Amino acid sequence: MLVKLAVLFSGNGSNLQNLLEKLHRKRFGDNEFEVVLCLCNNKNAYGIERARKFKLESVIIEHKNFACREDFDRALVSEIQKSGADLAVLAGFMRILSPVFTQNVRAINLHPSLLPLFKGANAIKESYQSDMKVAGVSIHYVSEELDGGQIIAQRAFEKTPKMSFEAFESQIHALEHELLPETVIKILTKTATIPKNKKAGNEKLQSLSNRLFHKD
């Protein structure tokens, strides 16, 4: 069975490349994964070049060209639905999404902290500067609340007293590259719990889950 993914990014695209290397046109059991859409809101993002190495042209929709957040989100939703993606993966997509998106697209987000701590764009710096003895990354379902959706997976490491910020950041990214592809696979197989449908966006993933599990 073909499982289609949309990946949204805003910048360097290292997590996009990681997903492409580990999942794109790869088979896991009875399922083959394919990234059918690379979607970016920054025409200068290096991730666009990373996608081209896999012969994928990114769709660029810049938020600054829209009068309001909702209009931008409608454009995102349109592209994702047109692609037929079964799941959208936010991998460094630096936009706060409105209900226009969250109620119509089933999506997960990668966040560089142990949620619910250190939400927002400065999570790595705030986590590093905190008194916490551990740090890590989280993957959660996207909801209307910033970095507040149901947590799916987390992975942590010990923050040592003499660890430099560069080493800390490198460890964060290493965990991201491990956890994100693993979690995408688990979500789309029977090893992950899929929340019960409450909104229209949930119905598509539940249908996919039923097909994967061979349910009537």
Task: Tell me how far CA of residue 122 lies from CA of 37, 59, 111, in angstroms.
Answer: 27, 27, 10
- The position carrying tokens 């989280």 is 138
Q: Which of 24, 63, 111, 177 is catalytic?
A: 111
65 vs 43, 61, 95, CA distance in Å?
A: 12, 8, 14
State the distance between the two ends of the chain, measured CA to CA, in whole angstroms. Answer: 16
Given a contact cutoff of 8 angstroms between Cβ atoms, the answer to whether 104 and 201 are in contact is yes
Distance separating alpha carbons of residues 8 and 41, to the nearest angstrom: 8
User: Can 63 be counted among the known catalytic residues?
Assistant: no
The catalytic residue positions are 111
